[in-house]
Amino acid sequence: MSVQFESREIADKYDQFARWYDWVEGVPDLLGVSRLRHQLLRRASGNVLEVAVGTGKNLRYYPRECRIVAVDISGEMLNVARKRAEKLSMNVDFLLTDAQALPFCGKSFDTVLSSLTTCTFPNPVLALQEMARVCKPTGRVLLLEHGRSNREWLGRWQDRREDSFANLLGCHWNREPLEIAREAGLNIVTAWRTFFGVFSVIEAKIRGVVL
């Protein structure tokens, strides 16, 4: 059984990691993740909630008319995100909170977005259920995630190294984001994979909404 962390442990890890996060994330950006961010974020509209905003790497890609609330469990990651928003001259409301217990009324946001997070949430299904709860019935949930490759040779390699990677960053890189979204009750509108099937871009609606 893979190592598991509680929310407080995840927060502590990312508080310590915040100053290095953008440097480490530069590697996936070089592999095309920045392009995926741009493709996903241009679908955002209206009142937006970004869950687990991290250091705010998505901020530059939002349409300017969006009104953004951004949450994260790590105070140090939020500090970096605030500085990034200031440099971009963006007015973003930042809040320290757990994605698994969002402090918002239901049906509050037009767009709820998260990126590279289902690997880290202690209970990713619960986190996505919370995202669905606060999304308006006419809104959308947007996800950019990484997980177990659908290329079996690479997926097996990820499986063998899952524990060591989880111990380092609290990241379970062999989870299945699309299956997590479905288990959370999201109605998948579009989903596609790239980079050897590791990265997934998902657009979803709230289940029961007629498309």
3-state secondary structure of 8: helix
Measured in Å, how far apart are the chain's first and last C-alpha atoms? 39
Which tokens sit at 49? 């909630």
Per-residue pLDDT tens over the stretch 9-36: 889 989 998 888 887 777 777 778 899 9
Q: Where are the domains of the chain?
A: 7-206
CATH topology of domain 7-206: Rossmann fold (3.40.50)
Place of tokens 């609330």: 69
Q: Kindly provide the residue ranges of all beta strands, DSSP E only, lying in the chain, ordered along the sequence.
A: 47-51, 67-72, 92-96, 109-115, 135-146, 186-194, 199-206
Per-residue pLDDT tens over the stretch 53-107: 999 999 999 999 999 999 999 999 999 999 999 999 999 999 999 999 999 999 9
